[in-house]
Structure 1
Amino acid sequence: MVAGEASGDLLAGLLLLGMRRRWPALQSGGIGGPNMVHQGFEAWWPHHKLSVHGFGWELVRRYREIIGIRSQLLKRLGEKRPDIFIGVDAPDFNLDLERNLRGQGIKTVHFVCPSVWAWRPERLEKIRASVDHVLCIFPFEPELLARHGIAATYVGHPLANVIPIEPDRAAARAALGLGAHDKVVALLPGSRQSEISHLALRFFRAAALIRRAQPAIKFIVPAVPGLKSQIEAIAQKAGLQGDLQILNGQSHIALAACDVTLIASGTATLEAALYKRPMVIAYHMGWLSWQIMQRKKLQPWVGLPNILCQDFVVPELLQDAATPEALAREVLAWIDAKDFAPAKIQALQQKFTTLHRTLQRDTATLATDAIQKVLQG
């Protein structure tokens, strides 16, 4: 298995849990993170080695290292001849690897359909050449893939079974030492070092403006292990080092506890939707990466909650629009809605509850059934 970032590690850990229940003698190895290791996975390389933000200088700088890892991994897998290879998301890395392995007669499964419905539809041909089966986390994806001759199964989203339909806000607040009546904003500037570099200062400067408007608001920041010191340094630069509660991980507790989240576009926005939280989605990247993304985008939305609801149910502030002033204004609008327009928040929560139920499936059984068919095929 290969998972290339924190969100992939989380999904892969949940998949491995189901696989171990079905096949107790399962042996697994490759590239992964702590959630996978917890399920007995042997991480030959840590997942953060593959974590790259955008298409610009960082990709150029890391290209040789990443290609070297893929070459070594391909050689090792060719020698070990696993029964099956499962690439978890990370399509830029995994699809080429899967195509090579499939050419050697090794069965390949890709978990999480690349977002060909949102951007880069040219990937469909690569998917068809690279994988025996795709495990899809959104219900509309298998039909789209079938039209292009790609076998796929909708397995639901594993997080929809982990996150309760009605999150326990009181317990989450108690765990973080927050009061029942506190106004709480969760700041999630991303899980990659490069995302932190692009977004954390913007988020913290927005927090300073929010604090100026409403001094009683409390801020919590779940920090990915290993990036806490970077986040603390940026908080100090923003003059907020004493005003933020910076957590070691605990993003789910932070989302359960908060009233609103200011959040980087990505898987975390879906997690926020499953926690039924109002949010402001933001993103910023290098100029070249932004230009490439704009040309390849197929839909007007970037955030997963908006894509899945097919509407701007929450605001998106991207690139030059993601100024501290604009971010603060949109967060304060949700805070004000809690007091003066609760029906707006209730309507959003109802949309997210409907979405949550749509994504709930017996993922472990559906995924392992599909994997079994690939193994027998």
Structure 2
Amino acid sequence: MSKHLPRIAMVAGEASGDLLAGLLLDGLQQHWPGLPSQGIGGPQMVQRGFEAWWPSDKLAVHGYSLEVLRRLGEIIQIRRQLRTRLLQNKPDVFIGVDAPDFNLGLETDLRAAGVKTVHFICPSIWAWRAERVEKIRRAANHVLCVFPFEPELLARHGIAASYVGHPLASVIPLEPDRAAARTALGLQPEDTVLALLPGSRGAEVKYITPTFLQAAVLVRQAHPGIKLVLPAAPAQRPTIERMVQAAGLQGAVQVLTGQSHTVLAACDCTLIASGTATLEAALFKRPMVIAYRMQALSWQLMKRKQLQPWVGLPNILCGEFVVPELLQEAATPQALAKAALEWLDARQQAPERIAALHQRFTALHHSLRRNTSVLAADAIRQVLAA
């Protein structure tokens, strides 16, 4: 192996991208100890020696329309400055981690200038916005895919790709330790625990959290002793705590900074915003109710681009509604509470339903479990050697 350390530039948007990029850096640093990497990233990447020129939460936006337009100017300016900086001092490879609306255009410009480009996580062209396949073809020398059916789909469009497994499937144990998680959170083995995961973006917190809390009030009426746990992104915790107080749940909801994996390991059921967290919940083998709410115009635009009947990753990967989805107008507190109570009551009344879900999610976990960090690093090394 050459002693030359390649210089890696990366962009990861939001907490989920930061986690994925951190795991990717683990694999790269096994090949190249002391590997320099710079760009846009979060705390997981920084812990691994990444030089963050901007924090990843600068790219966290939600939907379309007004909430994005307010941030658009700043994001465009960041991309312009980053592009200039990378073209003036070209890295050996640029890796865009998720954030396709930001990264694909940047990758296209860098690739045209001779920089090798890798996109980590194939945009979900199989679910919605299929037109992005042309952008991917122009942007990426290679795509690292986290779902097994994606490389064949990309190959049909002349795009080189590798299946590397989903890194979360290796991070999350096949049999999560519920007892240890409950001990860590101060919960008792016999407690009934409902986890509330409304998302980490500011707009998600705004549109989803109040509805989740109103649903929790209704669930508590049916199960007065239930324990409610809500892991919050650090920047969102003050806002969430005010919402908890406004819902009359102060003292009834345990609001935590982070610790979403511990919460999912500990809970009996979760109300959860659609996104990567739903896959995490599936890997923890937890019953869930998937929900989403956003600004009305954003919702109309997204619906028109949807290609499948499901939006939650567990349902998409299983090809059917294995867990309920309640979206936009359907995501009422009453409907969410009813769906959550059906899972909670099934523990005694229909345990076979819980067992069947556990079996389905275990099979899904096995299909996604690969040595992702090493496989991804090997693919990037081959791109560099080409």
On whether the aligned pair clears a TM of 0.5, the verdict is yes
Q: Does 1:61 align with 2:70?
A: yes
Q: Does 1:365 align with 2:374?
A: yes
Deviations 1:256-284 (A, max 9, x none): 00000000000000000000000000001
Task: Give me the whole-angstrom Cα distance separating, in 2, the residues matched to 1:25 and 1:263.
Answer: 38
> With structure 2 as the length reference, what TM-score do the two structures score?
0.97
Name the residue aligned to 2:94. 85
How far does residue 226 in structure 1 lie from its aligned partner after superposition?
1.4
Name the residue aligned to 2:168. 159
Q: Does 1:28 align with 2:37?
A: yes
Alignment counterpart, residue 186 of structure 1, candidates 161, 172, 195: 195
Q: Does 1:349 align with 2:339?
A: no
Moved over 2 A (4+): none
Name the residue aligned to 1:48. 57
Alignment counterpart, residue 265 of structure 1, candidates 239, 262, 274: 274
How far does residue 230 in structure 1 lie from its aligned partner after superposition?
0.7
How far does residue 229 in structure 1 lie from its aligned partner after superposition?
0.4
Deviations 1:76-122 (A, max 9, x none): 11112100000000000000000000011000000000000000000
Task: Give me the whole-angstrom Cα distance separating, in 1, the residues matched to 2:229 and 2:66.
Answer: 31
Name the residue aligned to 2:209. 200
1:285-296 matches, cutoff 5 A: 285-296=294-305
> With structure 1 as the length reference, what TM-score do the two structures score?
0.99
Name the residue aligned to 1:120. 129
Task: Give me the whole-angstrom Cα distance separating, in 2, the residues matched to 1:335 and 1:366.
Answer: 39
Task: Give me the whole-angstrom Cα distance separating, in 1, the residues matched to 2:250 and 2:26.
Answer: 38
Task: Give me the whole-angstrom Cα distance separating, in 1, the residues matched to 2:45 and 2:24.
Answer: 9
Q: Does 1:336 align with 2:328?
A: no
Name the residue aligned to 1:94. 103
Q: Does 1:134 align with 2:143?
A: yes
SS in structure 2 of the partner of residue 227 of structure 1: helix
Q: Does 1:177 align with 2:186?
A: yes
Q: Does 1:321 align with 2:330?
A: yes
Task: Give me the whole-angstrom Cα distance separating, in 2, the residues matched to 1:139 and 1:38.
Answer: 30
Deviations 1:37-74 (A, max 9, x none): 01100110011100000011011111110000000000
Q: Which amino acid in structure 1 is aligned with residue 51 of structure 2?
A: E
Task: Give me the whole-angstrom Cα distance separating, in 2, the residues matched to 1:166 and 1:223.
Answer: 24
How far does residue 195 in structure 1 lie from its aligned partner after superposition?
0.2
SS in structure 1 of the partner of residue 235 of structure 2: coil
Q: Does 1:2 align with 2:20?
A: no
Deviations 1:153-176 (A, max 9, x none): 000001111100000000000001
Task: Give me the whole-angstrom Cα distance separating, in 1, the residues matched to 2:288 and 2:78.
Answer: 37
Q: Does 1:110 align with 2:119?
A: yes
Q: Does 1:278 align with 2:287?
A: yes
Task: Give me the whole-angstrom Cα distance separating, in 1, the residues matched to 2:246 and 2:103.
Answer: 38
SS in structure 2 of the partner of residue 281 of structure 1: strand
SS in structure 1 of the partner of residue 311 of structure 2: coil
Name the residue aligned to 1:217. 226
Question: 21-30 or 314-323, which moves further after superposition?
Answer: 21-30
SS in structure 2 of the partner of residue 222 of structure 1: strand
Task: Give me the whole-angstrom Cα distance separating, in 2, the residues matched to 1:19 and 1:42.
Answer: 15
How far does residue 231 in structure 1 lie from its aligned partner after superposition?
0.5
% identity of equivalent residues: 67
Question: 218-227 or 271-280, which moves further after superposition?
Answer: 218-227
Alignment counterpart, residue 302 of structure 1, candidates 306, 311, 327: 311
How far does residue 177 in structure 1 lie from its aligned partner after superposition?
0.7
Q: Which amino acid in structure 2 is aligned with residue 153 of structure 1?
A: S
Name the residue aligned to 2:82. 73
How far does residue 213 in structure 1 lie from its aligned partner after superposition?
1.2
Task: Give me the whole-angstrom Cα distance separating, in 2, the residues matched to 1:223 and 1:25.
Answer: 33
Task: Give me the whole-angstrom Cα distance separating, in 1, the residues matched to 2:74 and 2:186.
Answer: 43
Name the residue aligned to 1:246. 255
Task: Give me the whole-angstrom Cα distance separating, in 1, the residues matched to 2:202 and 2:102.
Answer: 19
Q: Which amino acid in structure 1 is aligned with residue 182 of structure 2?
A: R
Name the residue aligned to 1:39. 48
How far does residue 25 in structure 1 lie from its aligned partner after superposition?
2.7
RMSD: 0.6
How far does residue 318 in structure 1 lie from its aligned partner after superposition?
0.1
Q: Does 1:16 align with 2:25?
A: yes
Task: Give me the whole-angstrom Cα distance separating, in 1, the residues matched to 2:163 and 2:383.
Answer: 15
Alignment counterpart, residue 168 of structure 1, candidates 177, 201, 217: 177
